[in-house]
């Protein structure tokens, strides 16, 4: 069975998936446990980076096929809604989230990765949404996020073929943002974590919130600022610019900008409070 361990810490927390066979599945019990882990993460206000990682033959291989076979129209819709809510909670975490994909990442595992801010892959990794090969579609936000994050062409490649893409192709399509040799992968992930910790905490939170809003909520964050809507349902561009200007001002209200600018001029690392 699949286990989830939360290695909690501030400023970095790790959510680690393991199993005896090295093949992690998103069973009902695992989804319940992930909800508990998210409860804990949401209670860590000083956590700045969350790394989702695994060991063994897969990152996460997707849902439990035996459970899917028991579904009907009503229970399938309920499962989709619950899975979407779970992934949206990951996306809405104020901390920057990293999916450290070291091996096969399929179905629900891919949808978890898409809910993260950053996706790093080892060369051995393969990533995809193979649901169409089972006669279903990605139902935990995968179709929505794939289109909004990567555009229609990459989403079609990912969803309609149902193939697990090699890491190099996933990088070319923008599905992962970095690629590392297998033996250096964990080191590259730690370097990314340290880079994020060197950046302004409030600035990262503001940036994450705004990007999610400007994507149309693809990352599960709050909607863009309240205002008149265009024909597409999005606020007009002027509203987006106003949201950005307000957040820019808040960086100065917190004192973070003063420290960052002083550190740059004094040629020293910033000390964030």
Distance separating alpha carbons of residues 90 and 50, to the nearest angstrom: 10
Question: Rounded distance, CA 117 to CA 90, Å?
Answer: 9
Beta strands 12-19 and 2-7, pairing class: antiparallel
Q: How many helices (H) and strands (E) does the chain have?
A: 11, 10
Token digits for 250? 């808040």
Our answer to whether residue 190 is catalytic in this structure is no
Q: Are 134 and 104 in contact (CB under 8 A)?
A: no
C-alpha 139/C-alpha 174 separation (Å) is 21
- Catalytic annotation on 163? no
Which one of 40, 67, 111, 259 is the catalytic residue? 111
Structure tokens of 7?
A: 């290695």
22-45 burial, b for 16+ CB within 10 Å, e for fewer? Answer: ebbbbeeebbebbeebbeebeebe
Give me the residues paired with residue 165 across strands.
Answer: 127
- Residue where the block lists tokens 């361990």: 5
Catalytic residue selected from 67, 131, 250, 266: 131
- Dig out the tokens for 195 from the structure: 């880079």
| Nearest one of 16, 208, 18, 32 to 99, comparing CA atoms | 16
Residue numbers annotated as active site: 111, 131
């Amino acid at each position: 069975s699949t286990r989830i361990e939360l290695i909690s810490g501030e400023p970095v927390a790790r959510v680690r998936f393991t199993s005896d066979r090295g093949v992690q599945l998103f069973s009902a019990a695992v989804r319940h446990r992930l909800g508990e882990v998210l409860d804990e993460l949401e209670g860590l206000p000083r956590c700045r980076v969350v790394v989702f990682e695994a060991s063994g033959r897969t990152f996460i291989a997707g849902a439990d096929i035996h459970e899917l076979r028991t579904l009907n129209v009503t229970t399938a819709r309920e499962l989709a809604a619950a899975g979407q809510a779970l992934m949206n909670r990951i996306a809405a975490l104020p901390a920057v989230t990293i999916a450290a994909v070291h091996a096969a990442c399929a179905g629900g595992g891919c949808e978890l990765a898409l809910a993260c801010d950053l996706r790093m892959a080892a060369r051995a990794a393969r990533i995809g949404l193979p649901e169409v090969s089972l006669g279903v579609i990605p139902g935990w936000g995968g179709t929505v996020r794939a289109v909004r994050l990567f555009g229609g062409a990459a989403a079609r490649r990912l969803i309609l073929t149902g193939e697990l893409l090699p890491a190099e192709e996933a990088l070319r399509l923008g599905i992962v943002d970095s690629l590392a040799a297998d033996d250096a992968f964990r080191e590259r992930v730690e370097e990314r974590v340290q880079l994020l910790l060197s950046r302004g905490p409030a600035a990262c939170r503001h940036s994450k919130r705004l990007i999610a809003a400007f994507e149309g909520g693809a990352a599960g964050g709050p909607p863009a600022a309240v205002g008149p809507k265009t024909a597409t349902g999005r606020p007009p561009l002027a509203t987006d610019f106003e949201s950005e200007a307000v957040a820019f001002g808040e960086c100065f209200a917190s004192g973070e900008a003063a420290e960052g600018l002083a550190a740059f001029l004094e040629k020293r690392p910033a000390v964030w409070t």
